[in-house]
Amino acid sequence: MVKKIARTAVIAAVYTGTVIGAGFASGQEIWHFFSQYGPAGTWGLFLSTLFLAFLGPKAMEWGKRIGASSYHDFLYNLAGKWLGRVGDLVLTVFLLFLLGIMLAGSGAVVVQLGGKWEWGCWGTAGLAVLVLSRRLEGIRGVNLVVIPLLFGAGIILNLDVNRAFLSLPLPEVPAGHVTGAWLAAAFQYSAYNLVLALPVLVTLYRLDDNSAALRWGGILGGFSLGILAFLFHRIMMNAGSGAGELPLFFLTREWSGWWRFGYALVLWGELFSTLTAHGYGLATRIGPAESPWFPLRVACLLLFAMAIGRIGFGRLITNIYPLFGGISFFLLLPLCLRPLPQKQRKSSGKTNFFQVG
């Protein structure tokens, strides 16, 4: 029983850490898709949670049944040759932009702490190459550390005693919230997050090929995402503002030094977990993860992503995320409507880090 719970928790942590990243942990994403709509955004958040909890496990099992080596295999099997080719190209481009967003966010965190943007960017990229030299096992280790820390940060930010750290109390929900588009925003959020998570989700059977662990880990991961999003949504909605590149970090401006540094570390950890997840997914699209050249491919991708990151963290999130959310609808329709495929080959030969001996 303990082993089953552990296997489920690992899958859930990897799923959660893959989705959560720069926009989520900083507050930019939560504000744009939920909090700016006020109470209606809470309903949107609830619908998004159900969507992620249902389709995440389905994507994991789909990847297992076809023995996917990358999201390229999954998309071609899911949508056919023509649409799969289009989806493959679109997802590859957006994954590269996402790496740039994560690096830009890492640089922005260091700037907020008084350092230089380049320190955060280069340091994060170098550490990502080291972690990804261990492939999926490295991603697993990162998320088992980072996800509990983010839950703790979300709870601390929501505690009433936390208001003592701020110079001014958080205002009540303002009357001027945006209205009308909350449902579309909720579907956009769900669609692009799930599509961007596909490179890791469809290969998670290599970490653990047990269908029950994938199913329940996916469900737990989806609901964990919803709980975390609600913790930050509540803060953003009450604050009534998503201004700045790191709005949640801005709310800690009057915290004592160690508290604020601790939250900055958690925020950076979330950027890093998503960077490693999508760096792995994009590098496996170029070539197999088992190749000795895999770390070099990761390093080259991150160097290119640094140039994208110079566009600016807030500007990238505001423009890239909604655009990709709209496109993702067309990529997810087949996943919603089509039944799971028949098993094409056994995946028992894949690495399972929980096997004994």
CATH number at residue 134: 1.10.4160.10
pLDDT tens figures, 210-266: 889 999 999 999 999 898 888 888 877 776 655 556 666 666 666 666 777 777 788
Residue 306's CB is within 10 A of a number of other CB atoms, namely 18
Least confident of 9-23, 79-93, 233-247, 287-301: 233-247
Instruction: Please give the tally of structural domains in the chain.
Output: 1
Q: Is 74 left (phi over 0), alpha (psi -120 to 50) or beta?
A: alpha
Q: Tell me the three state secondary structure of residue 345.
A: coil
Residue 169's CB is within 10 A of a number of other CB atoms, namely 9
Residue in 127, 134, 98 with CA at minimum distance from that of residue 282: 98
116 is written with which tokens?
């230089």
Instruction: Report if residue 64 sits inside a domain.
Output: yes
- Percentage of the chain exceeding pLDDT 70: 80
pLDDT tens figures, 173-207: 344 455 558 888 888 888 888 888 888 899 889 88
Between CA 300 and CA 293, with CA 12 as vertex, the angle to 5 degrees is: 20
Instruction: Report if residue 161 sits inside a domain.
Output: yes
Instruction: Report if residue 354 sits inside a domain.
Output: no
Instruction: Report if residue 274 sits inside a domain.
Output: yes
Residue in 324, 305, 70 with CA at minimum distance from that of residue 195: 324
101 is written with which tokens?
């967003």
pLDDT-derived band of residue 160, with 50, 70 and 90 as boundaries? Answer: very low
Instruction: Report if residue 346 sits inside a domain.
Output: no
Instruction: Report if residue 59 sits inside a domain.
Output: yes
The residue whose two tokens read 């080259």 is 300
Residue 54's CB is within 10 A of a number of other CB atoms, namely 15
Which residues, 6+ apart, have CB-to-CB distance to 73 below 8 Å?
63, 66, 67, 202
Report the C-alpha gap between 246 and 27 in whole angstroms: 7
Please provide residue 354's backbone torsions phi and psi, each rounded to the nearest 5 degrees.
Answer: -100, -5
Query: pTM for this one?
Result: 0.76
Instruction: Report if residue 184 sits inside a domain.
Output: no
pLDDT above 50: residue 335 = yes
Between CA 348 and CA 298, with CA 145 as vertex, the angle to 5 degrees is: 65
Structural domain span for residue 9: 2-174+190-337
Question: What's at 293, amino acid-wise?
Answer: W
53 is written with which tokens?
């909890």
Alpha helix stretches (DSSP H) within the chain: 2-19, 22-26, 28-33, 39-66, 71-112, 117-132, 135-158, 182-201, 211-239, 247-250, 257-286, 294-309, 313-337
55 is written with which tokens?
């389709």
88 is written with which tokens?
């493959």
Residue 295's CB is within 10 A of a number of other CB atoms, namely 18
Instruction: Report if residue 216 sits inside a domain.
Output: yes
Quote the pLDDT of residue 32: 81
